[in-house]
Amino acid sequence: MSDESSRKLVSAPAFPPSEAAFMLDFDGALVEIAPTPDAVVVPPELIRTLTTLRDKCGGALAIVTGRPIAQVDHFLPGIPFAIAGEHGVAMRRSPDGATERASLPVLPAQWLEQADKLAKDWPGVTIERKQAGLVLHFRGRPDSAELLRQAVDGWQVEKSGFHVQAAKMAWEIRPEGIDKGHAVASLLEQAPFTGRRPIFVGDDVTDLDGVREARARGGLGLMIPDDFPDVPAYRAWLEALAGGEGDQWGV
């Protein structure tokens, strides 16, 4: 870890592990952003850290992500976690629990067709389909951002119960009323999260609802790069927290 990262390391939570619930974003936080969603790399030590933290907090650790649950399971194989997928559209409240899905409007087929055409016309643009949404990634073609937004605005998504969210080098279309703040609140309704103070960490504008909800619930809402300079510094903080003895943090 760099000297700058060390200086900016966040202090341990003021409450003990027995009162904490981790709710952690995946892309850009636990793992570095990759050129495409399927290209992220998960270091083995990260899985060990997350497993230790989960055990330390009585199972109260969840991944809160815009990805579908199955994708997170793919990147964290063999050790399932509680997951709020697609910003809370799909919820698995415990590692061995069933997946719950919200009743939501159906994404119109013509949007998918037009999105595929945009990707064909603009090489470097990629389309990420979700069961309840759609993401147009332009990291590989930054000059297409404005044109893609104009196309999406032309779909008038609000009339179909959706809204457009700016993300990192992407436009995301998802159901109205679904966000990571909703996911945090929903997780806190049931064990093992009930009665605990959430620790939410993210890196993107799509994470701000989760940050606000965590703070409103008496917990911590932290962001990269505001609170941690980069992903390695954040992972080092998690690893340090996990190193404490008993009901104590290691930082």
Angle of the 109-121 helix axis to the 145-154 helix axis, nearest 10: 160
Question: What is the rounded CA–CA span in Å between residue 66 and residue 216?
Answer: 22
Using 50, 70 and 90 to split pLDDT, how confident is the model at 1? very low
Given this model, what pLDDT does residue 6 score? 41
Domain locations in the chain as residue ranges: 3-102+178-242, 109-175
Task: Among 102-111, 172-181, 189-198, name the most confident range.
Answer: 189-198
Question: What is the rounded CA–CA span in Å between residue 203 and residue 112?
Answer: 27
Given this model, what pLDDT does residue 54 score? 96
| DSSP per residue, 138-155 | -TT-GGGHHHHHHHHHHT
Question: Comparing 11-20, 95-104, 116-125, 230-239, which segment has the lowest mean pLDDT?
Answer: 95-104
What CATH superfamily classification does 109-175 receive?
Answer: Trehalose-6-phosphate phosphatase related protein; domain 2 (3.30.70.1020)
- Give the CATH architecture of domain 3-102+178-242: 3-Layer(aba) Sandwich (3.40)
Q: What are the angstrom distances between the C-alpha of 1 and each of 85, 105, 238?
A: 30, 45, 13
Q: Give tens-digit pLDDT for 13-52.
A: 999 999 999 999 999 999 999 988 899 999 999 999 999 9
Kindly report each contact of residues 104-109 with a partner whose C-beta sits within 8 Å and lies 24 or more positions away, as own/partner.
104/132, 104/161, 104/175, 104/178, 105/160, 105/161, 105/162, 105/175, 107/132, 107/133, 107/134, 107/162, 107/173, 108/155, 108/160
Annotated catalytic sites, by residue?
A: 25
Question: Comparing 26-30, 47-51, 163-167, 182-186, which segment has the lowest mean pLDDT?
Answer: 163-167
For residue 220, the cross-strand partners are: 199
Given this model, what pLDDT does residue 2 score? 42
Structure tokens at 150: 């104009």
| Predicted structure pTM score | 0.84
